[in-house]
Each structure stands twice: as structure tokens, then as C-alpha cells.
């Protein structure tokens, strides 16, 4: 892909945020990337997971913004500004936000996703004990459940394999029990 090659060249095969060289990938900046190098950055897996809210934020990792916020690449500046705003309640990030300058066009782009208004808290799929759930995990039901619109009764202790996380609802997963795909609330299961 031409864009990925251009980004690899632009970044010297390093994450444009933290300088890591491990697990690099193209990241299209939401909400409406056009897929060209100007709307994308080249980042590592750790930065991507935290940007996409698939992992708890690690304040220590994001100290890298001290350098990346000064990048000449507008896309890197926009993501740096958004991430600094997620940490705005921490003194180090608040100071950096005050120092950072984005022209009107890039500031509008940075604010467009609304991500800067969110807190640093990340909503993740967790079981009844607070253990992080992932696609493909095996879980055990902690309560007997009647399945609406069906005669199926999923008994407490039932082992459910290969779950799928419901993308827009961290309190639900999808799974097959006795050949039927059902939605189960995460508060009624524990990771095995």
C-alpha cells in the first residue's frame, strides 16, 4: 500500500508518537480520514490500543508526547493534542496543552472527533470480577439465565467458548449456547 510505505519513510520506521519500532501500523485519524498520508500516522501497537480505547491508558507511556507534540506533521500534532487532553487532569499534560499551538484549521480537526472532551477512563469489557475480556475467550456463567424468545435456559456453571465482544456496549458479549447465538451481560459471567 502506497500510504503505508510513505508513512514508513516519513517516520523512519518508528512510531510517530513514541518512537517504538515494534508492531507498527497505519492509523487513520477519525472521524473522516481520506486514507492519504496527511490524514494518517504510523504508530506502534501500544499507542494504537490506547488510542482506540482497547487498553487502559498508561500515563508513563504517553510522556512521549513531550516530543511528538512538536512534530511538523499536522496529523501527529492533532493526535498529540487529543491525547494530552485525555490526561488534562494531570499536571504534566496540562502544562503541555498550554504550550502547544495548533492553527485554527488543525485545532478544528483535533476537536472534530470530540475525543478531547472524554476523560482518560476507558470502558472495557470486564467479567463479574473485573477481569478483562477479549474476543475468543472462554467464560463460565455465574447465574442461570432464561433466554428471551426461546425455551433455552442457560444453567449456572455452563462453559461458553469463543465469545465475541459487542462493539458498542461493554456490558454485553455474544456467544453460542446449544447452537443459538445469544447476548449475555458481562456481569453474569467470569473468565475461565
Domain end point (choices 66, 85, 117): 117
User: How many residues make up the chain in this entry?
Assistant: 192
Q: 19 with 49, same domain?
A: yes
Phi, psi of 111 (to 5 degrees): -80, -15
Specify if 37 maps to a domain: yes
Domain end point (choices 117, 148, 178): 117
Q: 99 with 161, same domain?
A: no
Per-residue pLDDT tens over the stretch 95-133: 999 999 999 999 999 998 776 666 556 678 889 998 888
Q: 29 with 111, same domain?
A: yes
Per-residue pLDDT tens over the stretch 31-48: 866 778 888 999 999 999
Q: 10 with 101, same domain?
A: yes
Q: State the total domains in the chain.
A: 2
Specify if 129 maps to a domain: no
Note the pTM of the prediction, 2 decimals.
0.68
Specify if 124 maps to a domain: no
Of 90, 100, 43, residue with least CA distance to 66: 100
Name the residue range of residue 153's domain.
Answer: 139-191
Specify if 127 maps to a domain: no
Amino acid at each position: 500500500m502506497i500510504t503505508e510505505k510513505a508513512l514508513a519513510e516519513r517516520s523512519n520506521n518508528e512510531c510517530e508518537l513514541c518512537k517504538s519500532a515494534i508492531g507498527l501500523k497505519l492509523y487513520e485519524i477519525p472521524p473522516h480520514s481520506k486514507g492519504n498520508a496527511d490524514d494518517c500516522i504510523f504508530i506502534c501497537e501500544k499507542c494504537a490500543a490506547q488510542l482506540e480505547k482497547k487498553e487502559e491508558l498508561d500515563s508513563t507511556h504517553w510522556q512521549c508526547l513531550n516530543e511528538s507534540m512538536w512534530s511538523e506533521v499536522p496529523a501527529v500534532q492533532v493526535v498529540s493534542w487529543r491525547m494530552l487532553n485525555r490526561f488534562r487532569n494531570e499536571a504534566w499534560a496540562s502544562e503541555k496543552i498550554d504550550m502547544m499551538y495548533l492553527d485554527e484549521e488543525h485545532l478544528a480537526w483535533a476537536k472534530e472527533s470530540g475525543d478531547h472532551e472524554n476523560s482518560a477512563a476507558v470502558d472495557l469489557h470486564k467479567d463479574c470480577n473485573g477481569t478483562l475480556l477479549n474476543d475468543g475467550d472462554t467464560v463460565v456463567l455465574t447465574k442461570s439465565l432464561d433466554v428471551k424468545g426461546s425455551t433455552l435456559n442457560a444453567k449456572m456453571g455452563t462453559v461458553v467458548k469463543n465469545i465475541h465482544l459487542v462493539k458498542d456496549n461493554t456490558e454485553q458479549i455474544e456467544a453460542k449456547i446449544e447452537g443459538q447465538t445469544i447476548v449475555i451481560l458481562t456481569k453474569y459471567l467470569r473468565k475461565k
